[in-house]
Amino acid sequence: LAKTTQPISMDSYEGQEVNITCSHNNIATNDYITWYQQFPSQGPRFIIQGYKTKVTNEVASLFIPADRKSSTLSLPRVSLSDTAVYYCLVGDGDMRFGAGTRLTVKP
């Protein structure tokens, strides 16, 4: 299983763009990169998934360089409600959640 490394915590302010980078140096050819969001007292929620280059949906963008050894989740113009833990997962089938990045958005 590919191991992921991401910052433990990040702070931001409302209206700013937030970029969370995840390192996954031993990603395998068949692995996808998936990000989840978890609010307190709730289960994680799927945000976005990608294999290479750039993926964008209504919530976020995911940037993946050509070597796929890292990925960056980009949240445009965050609000207080984006305060949550963000998990980066890599795999094709079985996956493991790491500690995640605790994002705190301040007014």
Which residues are near other proteins by CB under 8 A?
32, 34, 36, 38, 41-46, 49, 87, 89, 91-100
Nearer CB in complex with other proteins: 18/89: 89
| CB 91 to other proteins: min, Å | 7
In Å, what is the CA distance from 96 to each residue of 36, 55, 71? 12, 22, 17
Q: Is residue 57 a contact partner of residue 37, using CB atoms and an 8 Å limit?
A: no
| CB 43 to other proteins: min, Å | 3
| CB 13 to other proteins: min, Å | 27
The angle subtended at Cα 13 by Cα 41 and Cα 9, nearest 5°, is 55
